[in-house]
Amino acid sequence: MSEKKSVRPAEAAALLGVCRDTVYVLMRSGRLRSVKLGRARLIPVAAIEELLSATEEFAA
């Protein structure tokens, strides 16, 4: 099976090392891109990588 292109907020939280509520705050603020598919909210893995790289650049 190929790697996932998007994940649900709970899985994104695990990847980012934050709680699920923080993922929703990041989505609402526009810092984390997401896509609405029916009732589900999906986060592209690329968006998680972008957030992590932006955070690393800020910390450096």
The answer to whether 43 touches 12, Cβ cutoff 8 Å, is yes
pTM listed for this prediction? 0.85
- 6 backbone φψ class: left, alpha, beta (φ>0; ψ -120 to 50): beta
pLDDT of residue 20: 98
- Residue 32, SS3? coil
Domain spans, the chain: 6-59
Q: What is the pLDDT along the chain (60 residues), one digit of tens a residue?
A: 458 899 999 999 999 999 999 999 999 999 999 999 999 999 999 999 999 998 877 766
Structure tokens at 16: 């980012």
What count of residues does the chain have? Answer: 60
Per-residue pLDDT of 30-41, as tens digits, reads 999 999 999 999
